[in-house]
Amino acid sequence: MKRALVGLLAFLGALGMAQRFSVEASAGYIYSGLGGQLAVVAEDLAPGLPLAVRLGLGFATSDALDDSVDIPSGRPGAGTPWGNYKNANNLTEWGQNITLSLDVLFTLPAQGLPVSLAPYLGLRYNLFEGGAYNNSGNWGKYSSNAFGLGGGIRAAFAVIPNLDVVADLGADYYPQSDITETTSSGSTTIRPGDPVYANLNAFVTQPDGFVFRVRLGAAYRF
């Protein structure tokens, strides 16, 4: 949380130096599902300095549990592939990722071209939640949160002077993080290094390691 606050303070400092601002909305494939992002971009932080700072809030659906992985021990259906158990018991699966991102963009020189390219690097904070339920209630819910790093490239195609079509291709990296399992019996947190963590981590599909995203949208400049 402290790192998130530091990132927010850095963005607020960039706002004070920015010469222009834009609001960006995009949608596409994010991590393992469909989603989108809303972002505010502080541009032209100083005359002649082609840097921008982007603060974004993203949401994406998630295939929360891996259909091909056997249900870990100690849970209903243990040892059965999740996809088979889910279908046989009419369970509905759900999952989501909510991601806060802070990026620094470097705009490459592109005089006379209708497109501008900006590689970027930044920080990520992701909240994952997902599980399954039936008519009787929750079968189980899993949640985790993690800080990560991300990078990519953003292409902006000018449509009219203040409106761009934007395409964004990138990847993020998240280290392994605690997984909290909630059932009708209560909540349990499993941490990396625990003997049962590897099996649970394979079963639950929270972002872990490198994850990829591609988005398309529009940005309006003020």
Q: How confident is the chain (222 residues) per 10-residue block, as mean pLDDT?
A: 52 56 94 94 77 93 94 92 94 95 89 86 96 82 96 94 94 97 90 95 94 96 84
| Tokens (6 digits) for 82 | 């999740």
pTM for this predicted structure: 0.87
Q: State the sign of the Cα–Cα–Cα–Cα dihedral 195, 199, 204, 207.
A: positive
What pLDDT score was predicted for residue 6?
52
Ramachandran angles phi, psi of 219, nearest 5°: -130, 130
What pLDDT score was predicted for residue 216?
97
Q: What does the chain come to in residues? A: 222
Residue type at position 124: R
| Tokens (6 digits) for 206 | 């929270």
The domains of the chain, with CATH numbers, are 2-221 (2.40.160.70)
| Tokens (6 digits) for 54 | 């982007």
Answer yes or no: are the C-beta atoms of 92 and 133 closer than 8 Å.
Answer: yes
Q: Which residue has the tokens 């209630």?
A: 137
3-state DSSP call for residue 34? Answer: strand
